[in-house]
Structure 1
Amino acid sequence: MFRGFATLNFYADDIGAARDWYAELFGVEAYYAYPPAPAAPAYVEFRIGDDEDEIGFIDRRYAPPGEAGPPGGAIMHWHVDDLQGTVDRLLAMGAKEHRPITEHGDGSGFVTASVVDPFGNVLGVMHNPHYLEIVGKRS
């Protein structure tokens, strides 16, 4: 049975730079690094969002063949409260537009965008009314 999103992994050539870039974006420090300091990390992980979802960064040299190539494949979209503001901030931080802000469906508020981070990973963001409905039911 699928129980929920557990960990999203991205790859980077410079884990320290990726850690610092995402710490600035998320406003929190990575809670885990391996190996531990003072060694240079090969993996770092953050917990963010309403469910403390995990996003990890793996040294690209450990990527399976073909997995860490040009941006492609599935895109996971994170719900954000201010889609335009988030996209603007990502671009100001050096990300490149992958897909512009795009409304989907019948105008009911499902809007997505994606960028390529400075490390070559596609990061999706969106406004998702269903996400807000589910989170609202928890209160």
Structure 2
Amino acid sequence: MSTVSYWTADLPAAVEWYSDFLGTKPYFERPGYAEFRIGDYQHELGLIDTRHAPAGHGIDPGGAILYWQVDDVEAARRRLLEKGATELEPLIDRGHGFITASVVDPFGNVLGIMRNPHYLEMLRSRTGS
């Protein structure tokens, strides 16, 4: 796991609410996105403006996508599709080294996969490799 994303129609209010709840400010922000480090391993909680939600993705409870860090997003995506998953969102280069894709498994669960340079930086700093 690298990032859990929550959608919001009011990003400034969500950033304020989560900053208060978590006792910390986002460490990374750009238009439409704010990111916090949380937990013992400093996993990422991303707040994203609903305008960036994948087509057809609900924003009701349960609408979050948990992204798993992978070395090769395209290879992981291809393997998931070969195993019967269906594409929710194609491979997208989001800039700054972020690459994402998401699929729906045969049971209806959304799986997000990503290459996330912030996660990799943190992991290297903890493992020394």
Deviation for aligned residue 1:95: 0.2
Q: Deviations over 1:40-63 (max 9, x none)?
A: xxxxxxxxxxx7x9xxxxxxxxxx
Find the counterpart in structure 1 of residue 66 from structure 2.
76
Q: Deviations over 1:56-100 (max 9, x none)?
A: xxxxxxxxxxxxxx9641111111001110000000000000000
Structure 2 gap segments, 5+ residues each: 1-20, 23-37, 44-55
Structure 1 residue runs of 4 or more that deviate by more than 2 Å after TM superposition: 1-5
Q: Which one has the bigger strand percentage?
A: 2
Secondary structure in 1 matching 2:65: coil
Specify which of 80, 96, 120 is matched with residue 90 of structure 1. Answer: 80
Seq. identity, %: 53
Deviation for aligned residue 1:4: 2.2
Secondary structure in 1 matching 2:75: helix
1:117 aligns with 2:105: yes
Q: Which amino acid is the alignment partner of residue 79 of structure 1?
A: Q
Superposition CA RMSD, Å = 2.4
Contact 1:113/1:125 (<8 A) preserved: yes
Secondary structure in 2 matching 1:76: strand
Find the counterpart in structure 2 of residue 4 from structure 1.
39
Q: Which amino acid is the alignment partner of residue 136 of structure 1?
A: R
Aligned residues: 75
Instruction: Return the alpha-carbon distance in structure 2 between the equivalents of residues 86 and 127 of structure 1.
Output: 11
Instruction: Return the alpha-carbon distance in structure 2 between the equivalents of residues 124 and 87 of structure 1.
Output: 9
Q: Which amino acid is the alignment partner of residue 100 of structure 2?
A: T
Secondary structure in 1 matching 2:89: strand
Instruction: Return the alpha-carbon distance in structure 1 between the equivalents of residues 73 and 39 of structure 2.
Output: 23
Structure 1 gap segments, 5+ residues each: 6-50, 54-69
**TM-score, normalisation: structure 2:** 0.52
Deviation for aligned residue 1:128: 0.2
Contact 1:71/1:121 (<8 A) preserved: no
Find the counterpart in structure 2 of residue 127 from structure 1.
115
